[in-house]
Amino acid sequence: MADIVIVGAGHGGAQCAIALRQAGFEGTVTIVGRECEPPYERPPLSKEYFAREKTFDRLYIRPPQFWEEKGVCLMLGIEVTAIDPASKQLTLSDGSSFGYGKLVWATGGDPRKLPVPGGSLSGVHGVRTREDCDTLMGEIDGGVKNICVIGGGYIGLEAAAVLTKMGCKVTLLEALPRVLARVAGPELSAFYEKEHRDHGVDLRTGATVEALEGEGRVTGVRLGDGSVIVSVTDTGIGIAPEDQEAIFEEFRQVGTTYAQKREGTGLGLTLTKRFVEMHGGRIWVESELTKGSTFTFTLPIKPWPTN
Ligand SMILES: Cc1cc2nc3c(=O)[nH]c(=O)nc-3n(C[C@H](O)[C@H](O)[C@H](O)COP(=O)(O)OP(=O)(O)OC[C@H]3O[C@@H](n4cnc5c(N)ncnc54)[C@H](O)[C@@H]3O)c2cc1C
């Protein structure tokens, strides 16, 4: 049991615990996180960490000992699988229960799975966690040289740039007519397309992926025009928020209505921060949404406090 339990040991969850202590909160605080690492920054994963210019210890949001010094308990490598708001109990993936006084839900998002046949073959990697990056880097160390990056958003472009710099032969596929189409104007898209091509990336726009080919392990990417690219595949097609409908259903049942419904494809959705605090029947939601993403909330949502 902790006075405040924060679910999600990402930047949002970590910053929430830091802010509580900075504000003088003296109660018990526990962060439950699915990953095994103390909170770390994700942006370097597709930049300096991927390029091996920074070691992982330089990505920590705070040094590991900070949490103990501040009396913040980290429960890592554990997932919250259910919430019982009536008894204020969480069910954890190891089967145990954990009580809370107040609950902060800071679970961020997960990479979208490629919705095509072969999307879960081995050799298909996301770029979201340290584990994702370490696995991909291990493949490169093992001799993989041909890599297909699917998705011409920021993460896909960053990964393509670093992989090229590392000597890989990179093909980047973007389904839309230009890269960064949802976040930048045509001039900026054209600039990045040229930069990448000038540095040797085989960058193809309007390229739809029909299927990933291979027996057990990916060997190629089949495109809508029938052509096949031989590769290991790295996906950067955006994230889907951790909806975890089953968990939120519990809230609905006790009359605290919360629903979040993502409409459209969600492609290009950048949910850079999600912080939900539930207290006394109020819900605050903070998020940054890119154009083209639609969120529908069914609830009286109070405006974010201005002071
Ligand atoms: C490769 C990469 C590069 C990026 N570059 C930039 C950049 O240059 N600039 C920028 O502004 N942003 C960038 N971002 C985005 C930025 O990292 C995110 O906005 C930020 O990580 C969001 O933090 P968060 O805490 O809300 O969620 P997350 O970082 O997603 O953290 C949520 C955590 O909750 C855990 N979790 C989920 N469900 C459960 C559960 N049921 N129980 C327990 N734990 C759970 C997850 O495992 C995860 O560790 C980048 C992201 C990536 C992946």
pLDDT value of position 227: 79
Distance CA 69, CA 36 (A): 19
Q: In angstroms, what is the span from residue 239 Cα to ligand 1's centroid?
A: 9
Tokens, residue 97: 């229960």
| Mean predicted lDDT score pLDDT of the chain | 80
Q: How confident is the model at residue 284 (pLDDT cuts 50, 70, 90)?
A: very low
Indicate which residue's Cα is closest to atom 35 of ligand 1: 8
Distance CA 168, CA 186 (A): 28
Atom of ligand 1 nearest to the CA of 244: 41
Q: Is residue 304 pLDDT above 60, yes or no? A: no
Ligand 1 pocket test, pick from 5, 73, 107 with the greatest ligand atom count within 8 Å of Cβ, gives 107
Distance CA 1, CA 100 (A): 5
Q: Are 122 and 215 in contact (CB under 8 A)?
A: no
Neighbour tally for 212: CB within 10 Å: 25
Atom of ligand 1 nearest to the CA of 127: 1
Measuring from each residue's beta carbon to the nearest atom of ligand 1, which residues come in under 6 Å? 7-13, 32-35, 42-43, 45-46, 79-80, 106-109, 127-128, 155, 242, 272-274
Indicate which residue's Cα is closest to atom 9 of ligand 1: 43
pLDDT in tens, 45-101: 999 999 999 999 999 999 999 999 999 999 999 999 999 999 999 999 999 999 999
Atom of ligand 1 nearest to the CA of 275: 26
pLDDT in tens, 205-241: 999 999 999 999 888 999 988 877 877 776 666 665 5
Residue 94: φ, ψ to 5°: -85, 5
The 3-state DSSP composition of the chain as helix, strand, coil percent (nearest 5) reads 25, 30, 45
pLDDT value of position 29: 98
CA 99 from centroid of its chain's CA atoms: 27
Q: In angstroms, what is the span from residue 205 Cα to ligand 1's centroid?
A: 27
Q: Is 31 exposed, middle or buried (0-12, 13-18, 19+ CB in 10 A)?
A: buried
pLDDT value of position 164: 94
Distance CA 72, CA 63 (A): 13
What percentage of the chain reaches a pLDDT higher than 90? 62
Partners of 31 in the beta sheet?
A: 6, 74
